[in-house]
Amino acid sequence: METEKLYHEDPYLGEFEAMVLRVDGNEVVLDRTAFYPEGGGQAGDTGVIGGVRVADTQIRDGIIVHILEAPPSFTAGDRVECRIDWERRHRIMRLHSAAHIMEFFLRRRLGEMERVGSHVDDRKDRSDYAYEGRLPADELKKVEEDTNRFLAEGREIRIRPDPERPGIRIWSCGPIEMPCGGTHVRSTREIGAVRLRRRNPGRGVERVETTLAED
Ligand SMILES: [Zn+2]
């Protein structure tokens, strides 16, 4: 029961039609979907399937499960109209792309550091790094300036499959490259400017929160 991942073919696809493969209570599996399931630190998509609100999208044992707010009246074999909450998803894509760029400049200013966790939704990206001591505020300000200067350059963002590791996708933008399975904007111009904030979630870990400057 493999669902076709439309969000990889076209991350800008907001509306699509699909066939229902399975309904289990308020959980739905489709033959194809543009709903990104939570993973790789990126929040799952919300939206509407067959007129019913989708509260979250998850992946379980490799199967993409749409979690509806109520059990639907449609059943397996039905064709349904689907729509993701595009504005929310686009903000997630902008913040996810921005976080990769922020990380590049963070390491350039402060040296290699291991990312030990990350999460991005439509409000912010938070990335956690193994770091002894406190991220210096003046350096973080410079990282923010570096990031915003780079974003304003209107750099193209590309995603390609890794030829050596099936299923792994490589994200790249100018000199920056990393594996990532998430959804991203096509150009840094779509992101605008960002603001960085330091948090300390616990010993030996420093967190950088990235938000859109327009908020
Ligand atoms: Zn990523």
Give CA–CA dist 4/6, Å, rounded.
6
Q: Torsion-angle region of residue 41: left (phi > 0), alpha (psi -120 to 50) or beta?
A: left
Contact 90, 78 (CB under 8 A): no
**Sequence spans of domains, the chain:** 4-84, 89-212
Structure confidence at residue 98 (pLDDT): 98
Structure confidence at residue 1 (pLDDT): 66
CA of 181 to the centre of ligand 1 (A): 6
CA of 150 to the centre of ligand 1 (A): 18
Residue 134: pLDDT above 70? yes
CA of 129 to the centre of ligand 1 (A): 15
CA of 99 to the centre of ligand 1 (A): 8
Per-residue pLDDT reduced to its tens digit, 182-211: 999 999 999 999 999 999 888 899 999 999
CA of 6 to the centre of ligand 1 (A): 18
The CATH number of 4-84 is 2.40.30.130
Per-residue pLDDT reduced to its tens digit, 51-79: 999 999 999 999 999 999 999 999 999 99
| Mean of pLDDT values over 28-53 | 97
CA of 24 to the centre of ligand 1 (A): 31
Sign of CA dihedral 164, 184, 144, 119: negative
Average pLDDT, the chain: 97
Question: Which pLDDT band, with edges at 50, 70 and 90, does 162 fall under?
Answer: very high
CA of 148 to the centre of ligand 1 (A): 18
| Residue 207 exposure: Cα atoms within 13 Å on the Cβ side | 15
Structure confidence at residue 201 (pLDDT): 86
CA of 158 to the centre of ligand 1 (A): 12
Give the global pTM: 0.96
Residue 131: pLDDT above 70? yes
Among 88, 6, 87, CA closest to 44: 88
List the structure tokens of 65: 């499960």
Structure confidence at residue 203 (pLDDT): 84
CA of 59 to the centre of ligand 1 (A): 17
C-alpha distance from residue 157 to each of 174, 178, 185, 199 (Å): 8, 12, 7, 28
Please calculate the CA angle 30-31-36 and round it to the nearest 5 degrees.
60
Contact 183, 11 (CB under 8 A): yes
pLDDT above 70 covers a percentage of the chain that reads: 100
89-212 sits in which CATH class?
A: alpha beta
Structure confidence at residue 103 (pLDDT): 98
CA of 208 to the centre of ligand 1 (A): 15
Q: From the centroid of its chain, how far is CA 192?
A: 17
